[in-house]
Amino acid sequence: MNRTGATDRALKLFCLPYAGGSASIYREWAARLPAWIELVPLHMPGRGVRHGMPAMLNWPPLLDLLLADAKPHIGGPFAIFGHSMGALVGIELAHALRERCGAAPIWFGASGCRAPRDREPEHHWLACPESEFIEQVRALKGMPEELLQNREFMDLVMPYLRADFHLCGTYAYRPRRPLDCPMLVLSGTRDDELARLPEGMSAWRDETRGAIEARELDADHFFINTHRTAVIDFVADSLSRWVQPCGQPDPSPRRSHA
């Protein structure tokens, strides 16, 4: 039994960070989640426990890396949650696990991320001027101005920030069989990027044949940090309603668009 009280039969919740972020954004989650949910943060190249690893610029090696991390945890039921880029990586990981390992998540959480079919190609992030790149990071309101002005810090994080933006910009959507699990979709009412989309976050409905529930927070793009408690509560509540505490799917879910 681990420190949260979870056992080997607990539902494993894989969590993925936003572009430029590390798994540490989930460090407060374990203490707030029910004991039957075991948090499994997945680590991106170039940060956190993988700070010495070069940033990755292509999807196949990134998915290979994360698959290797996830495999030891998929002997029982598991779920996936990701914010922004983390949701995009998460949906690809879900399909990779289903295709290569015959294991699929019993719940998926997409937070602050445009749906896969709404992605637009952006191939300039590795070569664009630094000033243009920093302006884009500033516009997302996810990094304090003092850090954006810190030359030493930006030199340290710029390679994997550019790599993450490049991965998002070179993502190629391909139609495929949707997942079968319930899905929670979270968004911020003041997230300017998502507000410009004709369908907002509703296009995520194409990614699963299970139930869809949507929740909004009065926040901008980085509500996962500014409204952490509310996000954790939404996730815990959704998992509690759609998944039995023993980690089994609710036998009679109904599709909804709250």
46: Cβ contacts below 8 Å, ≥ 6 apart? 53, 54, 55, 159, 160, 163
211: Cβ contacts below 8 Å, ≥ 6 apart? 182, 183, 242, 253, 254, 255, 256
- Let me know if 84 is a catalytic residue: yes
Query: Could you tell me if 95 and 172 are in contact, meaning their C-beta atoms sit under 8 angstroms apart?
Result: no
Q: Which helix (H) or strand (E) holds 178?
A: none
Q: Which two tokens stand for residue 4?
A: 């949260």
Residue 216 CA to residue 231 CA, distance in Å, equals 10
66: Cβ contacts below 8 Å, ≥ 6 apart? 16, 42, 89, 93
Residue 216 CA to residue 214 CA, distance in Å, equals 7
Where does residue 123 rank: exposed (0-12), middle (13-18), buried (19+ CB within 10 A)? Answer: exposed
Phi-psi region of 31 (alpha: psi -120 to 50; beta: other; left: phi over 0): alpha
Catalytic residue among 22, 84, 187, 238: 84
Residue 159 CA to residue 193 CA, distance in Å, equals 23
Query: Could you tell me if 89 and 172 are in contact, meaning their C-beta atoms sit under 8 angstroms apart?
Result: no
Residues noted as catalytic: 84
